[in-house]
Amino acid sequence: MLYEYRLYHAVPGRLPDLERRFRDHTLGLFERHGITPVGFWTCYIGASQNTLHYLLAWPDLGTRQERWDAFASDPEWLARKAESEADGPLVDHVTNEFWKPTNYSPLQ
């Protein structure tokens, strides 16, 4: 199992809109495309309260590429993204990493 860590740096003032888009639209599209979220977090105490962190679980990179490409080109996703960004972008930039659990990790 691989885990994809994604960190979204929201445009100032747009984090609530980003969270709304995930809650109301993106999660359903993830399910449709076989994308498995592990969890979502915002920063409670720390450097930035304007970020959304989340983990996705993948069996391998090939499956990830196939499913992510299908999601990214889904007409409903493209419409919801455009609709949610009518007043400007929600995300300034994204950081992502792929993690592989150690053999002693409780989460495999």
**pLDDT for 48-97, tens place per residue?**
889 999 999 999 999 999 999 999 999 999 999 999 999 999 999 999 99
Distance CA 5, CA 98 (A): 6
Q: How many helices (H) and strands (E) does the chain have?
A: 4, 4
Q: Is 44 exposed, middle or buried (0-12, 13-18, 19+ CB in 10 A)?
A: exposed
Average pLDDT of every residue of the chain:
96
Domain boundaries, the chain: 2-99
CA dihedral sign, ordered 6, 27, 92, 49: negative
Q: What is the pLDDT of residue 77?
A: 98
What is the model's pTM?
0.92
2-99: what CATH class?
alpha beta
Q: What is the pLDDT of residue 51?
A: 96
